[in-house]
Chains A and B, each alone.
Chain A
């Protein structure tokens, strides 16, 4: 089982560039999440989705957008990258047990 797969694993962006972090899960989970994790700050919820076609803002949504056109996919888009978005990003899915992807390390320079 692949579980939760997110790509890319590492990426360097220039200020003002845009990119999409891809996330897909093969467990037929309704709930999906995007978190960012900064050193010493814990996981912060960016956006979440409770099913296809439904998304909602988390704690730190500014500068990001998401979509959920299928149950499997939950991409996260950064429209105008800023240095403050340098972080590790985790996608996760679940009903009651939340499974995480391996993380995407993003640096904005």
Chain B
């Protein structure tokens, strides 16, 4: 089976740094995605990791360790508009199969 775990909710302060963790157990691995989703809207792509290590893109960074089945999304210099759900998704063994975790709802407070 496939299982993706991430915290349900997190709270952080404007201007701070927050790390959202994701652990996964899948039959096969073809990459890990992070998406941002504001309430009532579609998910938007943030990052894609297929090799171990850190990928940096502006205020957002994503890390992957395939041996540990672990990833994190790092958000720096938090802004109020970063309040959203963050979805971790894994492309598993079956070609094209992309499974999502339940998402982490991040609240950024002044």
- Residues of A at under 8 Å CB distance from B? 31, 33, 35, 40-45, 48-50, 56, 58-59, 90, 96-103
Contact count band on B: 20 to 34
A–B Cβ pairs within 8 angstroms, 22 of them: A42-B101, A42-B102, A42-B103, A43-B89, A43-B100, A44-B100, A45-B97, A45-B98, A48-B96, A48-B97, A50-B95, A50-B96, A56-B97, A59-B99, A90-B43, A98-B33, A98-B98, A100-B42, A100-B44, A101-B42, A102-B42, A103-B41
- Determine if B60 is an interface residue (Cβ-Cβ < 8 Å): no
Q: Residue on A with the closest CB to B50?
A: A96
Shortest A54–chain B CB gap in Å is 9
| Chain A interface SS verdict (over half) | strand
Is there contact, CB below 8 Å, between A41 and B96?
Answer: no
B73-110 interface mask toward A, CB cutoff 8 Å, 1 = contact, 0 = none?
00000000000000101000011111111110000000
Known A90-B43, A101-B42: A43·B96 in contact at CB below 8 Å: no
Cβ contact within 8 Å between B96 and A31 = yes
Set A40, A98, A100: member contacting B102, Cβ < 8 A: A40
Docked Cα-Cα span, A59 to B100, in Å, equals: 11
**Complex CA–CA separation, A48 to B50 (angstroms):** 21
Check A41/B102 contact, CB under 8 A, given A98-B45, A102-B42: yes
Known: A50-B96, A98-B98. A43 touches B42 (CB 8 A): no
